[in-house]
Amino acid sequence: MTALSAAKRPAIQETAGRYAVTLLGIRKEFGSAVAVEDLDLDVRPGEFLTLLGPSGCGKTTTLNMIAGFLTPDAGQIMLDGQDVHHLPPDRRDTAMVFQQYALFPHLTVGRNVGYGLQMRKRPKPEIRKRVAEALERVGLAGKEDRLPGQLSGGQQQRVALARAIVVQPKVLLFDEPLSNLDLKLREQLRLEIKHLQRELGITSIFVTHDQTEALVMSDRIAVMRGGRIDQLDTPEMIYREPANAFVAGFIGQSNLISGVCTEAGSDRCTIELSTSNTVHARHPGTVTAGDSVRVLLRPEALRLGSDGAPSTLTGAVIEIINEGNIATVVVQVSTDVRLRVAVSDPGALRLPTLGDVIPVSIPPGAARALPTGG
């Protein structure tokens, strides 16, 4: 374990006791590859925080270092103000819910759930009571004597969740626990997990590459790329005020158009687009006149028709995707600019037809300019 620099030592004293989890200057290498680099993170007590990012961004490696399954090459990990780098996983007061369930196939549901308590040498009456309570919480009361192979995938994941919460950990860790389930079951379980986490008040760190899971479940999201955190904020701020083009493109549907800033204030700027149109846009405070930028236009913020907006882009309709309560109209503005426009309640509005040349209006405040380096 590499010692922290003197500059970071005061931060340890300041954060001790105030955060459930603190990571300071964490680095992890696998051979010549750097998986996590100089990562700092504070997780608040009782918070549901999601590590979100593409494969290989370092999110699972970070989770495994918190759990104690991997050892950082540099930096410090603190749980509830205590330095835990020297502690094995079973002494860190954390519990993990794995992607592959990791249940013992030859043990009953009840014995799987109670295994952690048994290893902690709790009295048998206490184990029976706490196992029954945990199974009740996850909707599996009465299934103590079933084997995992007799359960559905969703029920097996509930057993894994019960096994994690029964030991009453201070920190609950989730390693993409819903990725093996079908869409309908994922949607159901993500809400159940969030409700259970709120009810129990357990600090939780959830790893996923699914942006919808992150937006629906999280109090805060850490968007990771290349072993670092690009942005850490609430789901609403991550979606509406992304820090750079990577975050904007990774979260939600987005239209990103190249342009150049011709005039900039502290948080507003004027952009000349690659289509020769001019738009007024918000920016994160890092854009100056002359900068090349990417302009973010969310599909739901755009409007079909001129609509009296100061800025419009005109193109031909090349695709219409109708999903009943919402439709997406794809408009080819130029060779390299294609806009997706979301239309809510399409039944109440006459949609264009393929080949129609139509204007797409950009309402005031809908555009956000982001540095091209992000």
Task: Look at residue 11 in the predicted model and tell me its pLDDT.
Answer: 44
CA angle (174, 89, 153) in 5-degree steps: 35
Distance CA 273, CA 269 (A): 12
Domain 9-240, classified CATH 2.60.120.460, yes or no: no
The single residue listed with the structure tokens 């999280």 is: 218
Nearest Cα to 173, choosing from 70, 259, 316?
70
Going from the C-alpha of 34 to that of each of 37, 146, 153, 219, the distances in angstroms are 7, 44, 34, 28
For every residue of 153-216, DSSP letters joined together read: HHHHHHHHHHHHHTT--SEEEEESTTTTS-HHHHHHHHHHHHHHHHHHT-EEEEEES-HHHHHH
Residue 52, Cα to own-chain centre: how many angstroms? Answer: 4
Q: What is the pLDDT of residue 179?
A: 86
Domain boundaries, the chain: 9-240, 255-371
Q: Are strands 268-273 and 278-282 parallel, antiparallel or unpaired?
A: antiparallel
Whole-prediction pTM: 0.88
- The token pair that represents 191 in the structure block: 């809400």
Please name which of 69, 114, 94, 84 lies closest in space to residue 23, comparing C-alpha atoms: 84
Structurally, at CATH architecture level, domain 255-371 sits in: Beta Barrel (2.40)
pLDDT of residue 58: 96
Q: How far is CA 287 from CA 18, 57, 256, 308, 311, in A?
A: 35, 26, 16, 28, 20
- Measured in whole angstroms, how far is the alpha carbon of residue 213 from the centre of its chain? 7
Report pLDDT for 374.
Answer: 60
Name the burial class of residue 97, with classes exposed (0-12), middle (13-18) and buried (19+) by CB atoms within 10 angstroms of its CB.
Answer: buried
Left (φ > 0), alpha (ψ -120 to 50) or beta: where does 155 sit?
Answer: alpha
Yes or no: say if 358 and 306 are a contact pair by the CB < 8 Å rule.
Answer: no
Adjacency order of strands within the sheet including 311-322: 303-304, 357-362, 311-322, 326-334, 337-344
Q: What is the pLDDT of residue 185?
A: 87
Q: Are 252 and 239 in contact (CB under 8 A)?
A: yes
Element (H, E) at 127: helix 124-137
| C-beta of residue 129 within 8 angstroms of C-beta of residue 147 | no
Question: Per-residue pLDDT for the chain (374 aa), expressed as one digit of tens each?
Answer: 443 333 343 444 454 458 999 999 999 999 999 999 999 999 999 999 999 999 999 999 999 999 999 999 999 999 999 999 889 998 999 999 988 888 999 999 999 999 999 989 999 999 999 999 999 999 999 899 999 999 998 899 999 999 999 999 999 999 999 888 888 888 989 999 999 999 999 999 999 999 999 999 999 999 999 999 999 999 999 999 999 999 998 998 899 999 999 999 888 999 999 888 899 999 888 889 999 999 999 999 999 988 777 889 999 999 999 887 889 999 999 998 999 999 987 766 778 899 999 999 999 989 999 988 66
The Cβ of residue 168 has, within 10 Å, a number of other Cβ atoms equal to 15
Phi, psi for residue 371 in degrees, rounded to 5: -60, 145
pLDDT of residue 133: 93
Residue among 255, 281, 259 at smallest CA distance from 360: 255
- Residue 373 pLDDT: 67
Res 182: pLDDT: 86
Burial of 285 (0-12, 13-18, 19+ CB in 10 A): exposed
